[in-house]
Amino acid sequence: MDIAFLLFDGITPLDAIGPFEILGRLPGAKVKMVAKQKGPVRTRGGSLAMTADYTLAEVSRPDILLVPGGVGADAAAEDTVVTGWVAKAHETTTWTTSVCTGALILGGAGVLKGLKATTHWRAMEDLKRFGAVPVHDRVVRQGKVITAAGVSSGLDMALTLAAEIAGEDIAKAIQLGIEYAPQPPFDAGRIEDAPDERILLARTGLSRP
Catalytic residues: 100
DSSP assignment string, 31-59: EEEEESSSEEEE-TTSS-EEEE-EEGGG-
- Give the integer Cα–Cα distance in Å for 22 and 171: 8
- Give the integer Cα–Cα distance in Å for 61 and 53: 16
Q: What angle do CA 199, 136, 193 make, to 5 degrees?
A: 35
- Give the integer Cα–Cα distance in Å for 104 and 132: 10
